[in-house]
Amino acid sequence: MGAEPRRVVLATHNAHKVEELQRMATAARLPVEIVAYDGPEPVEDGVSFAQNALIKARAAAIHTGLPAVADDSGICVDVLGGSPGIFSAYWAGQRKDAVANLELLLDQLADIRDPHRAAQFVSTIALVVPGEGEHTVEGRWPGRLALAPAGAGGFGYDPIFIPDGQRPGAERTVGEWSPAEKDAASHRARAFDALVPLLAAL
C-alpha cells in the first residue's frame, strides 16, 4: 500500500481553481490531495503577483497548519502597459464581477486592432510550508485578445484570450478549449510545472 497523500490547502475560495489544480496534481502523479481553504480572506495589498500569492499562502498555512499553495494570476495587456495585471479580478470594481471585467476590457480596446491586441496571462504560485520555508514560481502564456467573447468554457477572461501557437484560420479562445487542453498549456499549468519538484519534496 502506498502512503496517504499529503494534504495541501489551496488558498482560494474559487472552486474552479481547486478542481484545476487537483487535475494537474493527479496528472503529474503527485501524492498530494488539494483541499479547499475555508478561512478568512487576507487583504491582498501587494504590488505584484508574487507578493499577493505569498500573502494568501501564508494566511492559509497559518489558518490550517498545512502546506499552503496560492495562485495570483491575471491578464496583462501590452497596449495598457501590463494592466489589468494584479487588478484583473477587480477591473470593473470591487464586486469582482467576471463578466463586467471582461466587458470593460473589451470596451477599452474597442478601437485597437491586431497586431496591437497582444496580451499574456501570468500566474505566480506561492508555496508556504509551515516551519520550513516559502517559494514562488511563475508561468506566462502569451497570446492576444479577441474582438468579442467566444466559447462557454473556462472562466474569467478565457473567452477573449487567443493563445499563441495555434494554426492560422483555426484559432480558438480558451473559452472554446476543453479543460484538458487548458490544463496542458495554461499559465497556471506552466507555473505548476515549476512547482511540481517542490510539491514532490513534501
Spell out the domains of the chain, with CATH numbers in brackets: 6-200 (3.90.950.10)
Instruction: Mark whether 72 is an active-site residue.
Output: yes
Left if phi > 0, otherwise alpha if psi is -120 to 50, otherwise beta: which for 29? Answer: left
pLDDT tier for residue 2 given thresholds of 50, 70 and 90: low
Question: Which residues belong to the annotated binding site?
Answer: 12-17, 72-73, 155-158, 182, 187-188
Residue 34 has pLDDT above 50, yes or no: yes
Residue 175 has pLDDT above 80, yes or no: yes
Please give the model's pTM, rounded to 2 decimal places: 0.90
Q: Do 175 and 159 meet the contact criterion of CB atoms below 8 Å apart? A: yes
User: 98: exposed, middle or buried (C-beta count within 10 Å: 0-12, 13-18, 19+)?
Assistant: middle
pLDDT tier for residue 3 given thresholds of 50, 70 and 90: low
Catalytic residue among 72, 107, 111, 193, which? 72
The residue among 21, 150, 127, 13 whose CA lies nearest residue 67 is 127
Residue 24 has pLDDT above 50, yes or no: yes
Residue 1 has pLDDT above 80, yes or no: no
What tens digit of pLDDT does each residue of 10-22 get? 998 888 888 888 8
What tens digit of pLDDT does each residue of 144-171 get? 999 999 999 888 999 999 999 999 889 9
Question: Which residues belong to the annotated binding site for Mg(2+)?
Answer: 72
In angstroms, rounded to a whole number, what is the distance separating the alpha carbons of residues 130 and 68? 8
Torsion angles phi and psi, residue 19, rounded to 5: -60, -45
